[in-house]
Structure 1
Amino acid sequence: MPANFASTEAVQKLLDRASGLDVDGGNPRLKAIMRDLLQATADIIVKHDISESEFWQAAKYLADGAGEIGLILPGIGLEHFLDLYMDAKDAEAGLSGGTPRTIEGPLYVAGAPLVDGTSEVDLTSDPDDTDTLHMTGIVTGPDGEPVKDAILHVWHANSQGWYSHFDPTGEQTPFNNRRRIKLAADGRYAFRSKMPHGYSVPPGGATDVLMQALGRHGNRPAHVHFFVEAPGYRTLTTQINFGDDPFAADDFAFGTREGLLPVPSRQGDTAHIAFDFQLQRARNDEDQSFSRRARAQG
C-alpha cells in the first residue's frame, strides 16, 4: 500500500464531500476542522495499516467508554495539552506571570453553597475521622494588589478518594467538600476540611482498560481544585497536588505543574498549606468567564 494513499484523488474527493466542502451552508470553521480531522484519521489508518476489525473495536471502545470521557481525555494528555497550548498563546501575546493554570478534571459540580469568607470556612459537611487540613492565603493581582470581590471555588475528594455527587457508596451529603467562598476586600481566604485522598480510575472501566493497554496506571495524588473569579481579572482554573504524595510526580492526568506542589506542614492530626493565588488582568469579557465545558449541576 503506498504511503500516500490517503492523498490520492479519490480519497481527497471523499474527504471533501464528507466534510461538506462541496456544498453551501453549514459552519465554515467546523467544515475546516472536520476536513483536517478526517485527513489525520485517514493518514493514521494507512500509516499503521489499521484493519477493519481494529477500527470497529476502537469505535466500540469510544461508544462504551463515553461515560468516562472526562477521565480518558486527561489520561491521554489532551486536557494538559490544552493548558500548554494556552500557555504558549499567552507567551506569544506577551502575557506572563500569575498562578499556573492546570486541568479542571470532570468532577466539578455547579451550585455549591456561596459562603462568607471573612472567617475560616468549613468545607466538610459529613463526619470524617481523618486529619484536618487548613488552607490559607491571599488572592492578588499582577502588581500584588489584593483582589476585591473574588470568589474562590473549592472542591476535593474525601479521605476515601470519593467526590460528593460521584460517590458510589452514597455516603456523602450534597456538596460535601465543595464551597464557593466570597472573599473580603483584602483578598484573604481560609478554610478547613478533612485531608483528601488521591484516587484511581474505576477498576475495569474504560480508562483503566486503556491505561493498562498503554502500560500505565490510573492514579492521581491527593489534590484540591480551584476556580478563582473576580471582576476585571481572568478567571483561573487550577489545582494543587500535595508534594509529598507518592503520585505527585506521576499523576496519570498530568495535572502536576511547577508552582502547584505545596507540601503540607503536618503536626499531629492537623496539616496546613499556605498558598497564594495571583490573577492576570482580563483583556475582555471572555477572560472573565468560564469555559463552556459541560458540568454537573447540583
Structure 2
Amino acid sequence: MKAKVIRYHRFGAPCSVLQVEEKQVIEPAPGELLVRMSARPINPSDLIPVRGAYPHRTMLPAVPGFEGVGIVEAVGPGVSNQMLGRRVLPLRGENTWQEIVKTSERFAVVVPEDIDDYSASQIYINPVTAWLICTDVLNLTHGHTLIVNAGGSALGRIFAQLSQICGFRLIAITRNDCHTVDLLHLGAVSVVNTTKELLPERIAALTGGRGADAAVDCIGGTDGEQLVNCLKPSGTVISVGLLSGVTPIWHEVTQGTQVNVQLFWLKHWVERCSQERWKQVFHELMELVRSGRLIMASIGSAFELVNVQQAIAAAESGQKGKVLLL
C-alpha cells in the first residue's frame, strides 16, 4: 500500500521546499499501530524546523507535523484488535503530515467520543506545553501573576483559560487590539498592546510596582528580552518559542538581576516522562476539554493534505482561527 506524504529535502521557505510525495507503507511491527490521519493543525512549531532553525536536530529528508488525530487502520502483533477503528492521537511516532502514521500503542492516546476531531487534533502541543509550565514548572496558583507574549496565539489563549483553572492572574501581551475581547473573556485580567503602551511601565502599574512572578516568551528577540524588565527580582522567564527567528541574548539582559531563564522543550519532557505520567497529563487535559473548561482554537479554514502550500499561506496570513490539514 502507498500513501501520500509531505516531505522537505532542504531547509527554506515552507511553500518552496515542501513536496507532496508517496511512500510505501510498511506493516506495523509488534506493539505498533497504523493510523489513517483525519485532521492536523498547522502550528508555528511545525514550520520553524522547515525553515532550518534547528538544523542539528533535523535529519533530512524530513516530514513536518507534531500532532493530529486519526483512526487506527492496522495493528501489529501483540496489539488488541479492539484498537481497530478507534480514534487516537498517534504521538511519539512518525510525524503527522502524511496519510498514514505509524506509532507505538503505548503512546497512542485514545480520544473520547464526545471530543470532535477538530478539538482532538489540537490537544497535544499547546495544551500540554501550557499545562506543564503552569503546574510542573512554575506551580502557579492564587496570588501569582504570569505574563505571556504572543497573547493572541493559540498557546496564549490556552494560558488565559488555565489562569481561571489554576487561579493565577494572566496579563496577555499583544501587538494589536483584535484579540483583546476574546482574551479577557477567556480569563486574562488585562491585555497590553505594545504598539500603544510601554510594556515595563504598564506591567509595573498592573502589579502595583512589584512586577510579575513569571513570564512566557513565545517570540524571542527583543520581545522576549524586554520581559526581564517586567518581573520581580526573583522572577522566571520560560522560553518556549522563536516566532521572530531571533534567539534572545539572555545572559546579557539578565546580568545584574536575579531573574532566572529556563528553556522549555516539550520534546525533552516527552523523552523523560514515564508512561504513567504521559497518560495522566492527557487524562487531565481531556477531562478539561470534555467539561468545556478548556476550549481549543476555532477553525479558520481547512485544506486537503495535498494542498499544503495553500494551507500554509492561509496559516501565515494572519487570519483568525486554526488552519487544518485534512
When you count strand as a share of all residues, which structure comes out higher? 2
Larger radius of gyration: 1
Range of TM-score over shorter length:
under 0.3
- TM-score, with length taken from structure 1: 0.22
When you count helix as a share of all residues, which structure comes out higher? 2
Higher RCO (Cα < 8 Å, 6 or more apart): 1
- TM-score, with length taken from structure 2: 0.21
